[in-house]
Structure 1
Amino acid sequence: MNQVAHALKITGMTCGCCSGRVTRVLEATPGVIQADISWQSHAGIVVTTPDVSKEQVMAIVASTGFGVSA
Protein backbone atom coordinates (compact mmCIF):
# COMPACT_ATOMS: atom_id res chain seq x y z
CA MET A 1 0.00 0.00 0.00
CA ASN A 2 1.31 3.45 -0.89
CA GLN A 3 1.53 5.89 1.98
CA VAL A 4 2.12 9.62 2.30
CA ALA A 5 3.50 11.31 5.44
CA HIS A 6 2.25 14.83 6.18
CA ALA A 7 4.28 16.96 8.63
CA LEU A 8 2.25 19.58 10.50
CA LYS A 9 2.75 22.31 13.08
CA ILE A 10 -0.14 22.39 15.56
CA THR A 11 -0.70 25.26 17.99
CA GLY A 12 -2.85 25.50 21.09
CA MET A 13 -2.21 22.05 22.56
CA THR A 14 -1.30 22.21 26.26
CA CYS A 15 -1.40 18.59 27.44
CA GLY A 16 -1.55 14.95 26.47
CA CYS A 17 -5.34 15.08 26.34
CA CYS A 18 -5.10 17.68 23.59
CA SER A 19 -2.79 15.58 21.44
CA GLY A 20 -4.88 12.49 22.21
CA ARG A 21 -8.01 14.23 20.96
CA VAL A 22 -6.34 15.22 17.68
CA THR A 23 -4.94 11.71 17.27
CA ARG A 24 -8.33 10.05 17.88
CA VAL A 25 -10.14 12.30 15.40
CA LEU A 26 -7.49 11.79 12.73
CA GLU A 27 -7.27 8.02 13.16
CA ALA A 28 -11.06 7.72 12.93
CA THR A 29 -10.90 9.32 9.47
CA PRO A 30 -10.98 7.00 6.44
CA GLY A 31 -7.64 7.08 4.66
CA VAL A 32 -5.63 8.03 7.74
CA ILE A 33 -3.30 5.17 8.62
CA GLN A 34 -1.51 6.63 11.64
CA ALA A 35 -1.22 9.93 13.48
CA ASP A 36 1.72 10.76 15.73
CA ILE A 37 0.86 14.05 17.46
CA SER A 38 3.05 15.67 20.14
CA TRP A 39 1.75 18.47 22.34
CA GLN A 40 5.30 19.06 23.65
CA SER A 41 6.78 19.80 20.22
CA HIS A 42 3.53 21.27 18.84
CA ALA A 43 3.90 19.07 15.78
CA GLY A 44 2.62 15.93 14.18
CA ILE A 45 3.22 13.40 11.44
CA VAL A 46 0.11 11.99 9.82
CA VAL A 47 0.43 8.99 7.51
CA THR A 48 -2.35 8.62 4.96
CA THR A 49 -3.25 6.88 1.77
CA PRO A 50 -2.36 8.93 -1.34
CA ASP A 51 -5.98 10.03 -1.86
CA VAL A 52 -5.95 12.10 1.37
CA SER A 53 -4.37 15.51 0.83
CA LYS A 54 -2.41 17.60 3.32
CA GLU A 55 -5.18 20.20 3.08
CA GLN A 56 -7.75 17.60 4.15
CA VAL A 57 -5.58 16.56 7.10
CA MET A 58 -5.14 20.21 8.11
CA ALA A 59 -8.91 20.78 7.94
CA ILE A 60 -9.49 17.80 10.23
CA VAL A 61 -6.97 19.13 12.76
CA ALA A 62 -8.54 22.60 12.58
CA SER A 63 -11.97 21.05 13.25
CA THR A 64 -10.68 19.92 16.67
CA GLY A 65 -10.14 23.56 17.64
CA PHE A 66 -6.37 23.82 17.27
CA GLY A 67 -4.30 25.94 14.92
CA VAL A 68 -2.47 24.10 12.15
CA SER A 69 0.05 24.93 9.44
CA ALA A 70 2.29 23.00 7.09
Structure 2
Amino acid sequence: MENNLDKRNFINWYCWYATSEEIKKAEQTNKAAINRLVNEHSYEVEKINTAKRYYDNSSLPEGVLPEFHSFGCV
Protein backbone atom coordinates (compact mmCIF):
# COMPACT_ATOMS: atom_id res chain seq x y z
CA MET A 1 0.00 0.00 0.00
CA GLU A 2 2.82 2.41 0.82
CA ASN A 3 4.42 1.81 -2.59
CA ASN A 4 1.12 2.57 -4.29
CA LEU A 5 0.84 5.83 -2.35
CA ASP A 6 4.44 6.75 -3.24
CA LYS A 7 3.67 6.02 -6.89
CA ARG A 8 0.57 8.22 -6.82
CA ASN A 9 2.42 11.02 -5.05
CA PHE A 10 5.25 11.00 -7.57
CA ILE A 11 3.01 10.82 -10.63
CA ASN A 12 0.73 13.59 -9.35
CA TRP A 13 3.68 15.80 -8.52
CA TYR A 14 5.52 15.11 -11.77
CA CYS A 15 2.53 15.36 -14.13
CA TRP A 16 0.28 17.93 -12.50
CA TYR A 17 1.97 20.12 -9.93
CA ALA A 18 5.70 20.47 -10.60
CA THR A 19 6.93 23.20 -12.87
CA SER A 20 9.81 22.50 -15.22
CA GLU A 21 12.05 24.52 -12.89
CA GLU A 22 11.03 22.36 -9.91
CA ILE A 23 11.74 19.19 -11.87
CA LYS A 24 15.17 20.50 -12.91
CA LYS A 25 15.93 21.43 -9.31
CA ALA A 26 14.88 17.96 -8.10
CA GLU A 27 17.08 16.38 -10.77
CA GLN A 28 20.04 18.45 -9.61
CA THR A 29 19.42 17.42 -6.01
CA ASN A 30 18.77 13.72 -6.59
CA LYS A 31 19.12 12.82 -10.25
CA ALA A 32 19.33 9.05 -9.69
CA ALA A 33 16.05 8.87 -7.77
CA ILE A 34 14.15 11.09 -10.23
CA ASN A 35 15.42 9.10 -13.21
CA ARG A 36 14.52 5.81 -11.51
CA LEU A 37 10.99 7.00 -10.71
CA VAL A 38 10.45 8.38 -14.22
CA ASN A 39 11.65 5.09 -15.72
CA GLU A 40 9.50 2.98 -13.35
CA HIS A 41 6.37 5.00 -14.05
CA SER A 42 7.01 6.05 -17.65
CA TYR A 43 3.89 4.28 -18.94
CA GLU A 44 1.59 6.15 -16.57
CA VAL A 45 3.38 9.47 -17.09
CA GLU A 46 3.08 9.13 -20.87
CA LYS A 47 -0.64 8.29 -20.67
CA ILE A 48 -1.29 11.39 -18.58
CA ASN A 49 0.85 13.59 -20.83
CA THR A 50 -1.01 12.28 -23.89
CA ALA A 51 -4.37 13.09 -22.30
CA LYS A 52 -3.14 16.57 -21.30
CA ARG A 53 -1.93 17.28 -24.85
CA TYR A 54 -5.27 16.13 -26.25
CA TYR A 55 -7.25 18.42 -23.96
CA ASP A 56 -4.83 21.31 -24.49
CA ASN A 57 -5.40 21.04 -28.25
CA SER A 58 -9.16 20.49 -28.12
CA SER A 59 -11.47 23.42 -28.55
CA LEU A 60 -13.58 23.59 -25.43
CA PRO A 61 -15.80 26.59 -24.74
CA GLU A 62 -14.16 29.19 -22.52
CA GLY A 63 -14.60 28.43 -18.85
CA VAL A 64 -15.17 24.70 -19.35
CA LEU A 65 -12.58 22.61 -17.61
CA PRO A 66 -11.92 19.13 -18.98
CA GLU A 67 -12.39 16.20 -16.65
CA PHE A 68 -9.29 14.01 -16.54
CA HIS A 69 -9.57 10.31 -15.92
CA SER A 70 -6.63 8.34 -14.61
CA PHE A 71 -7.71 5.26 -16.61
CA GLY A 72 -6.74 3.13 -13.64
CA CYS A 73 -3.06 4.03 -13.68
CA VAL A 74 -2.94 6.16 -10.57
Is TM more than 0.5 here? no
The structure with the largest alpha-carbon Rg is 2
TM-score of the pair, normalised by structure 1: 0.30
Q: Name whichever structure is richer in strand by fraction.
A: 1
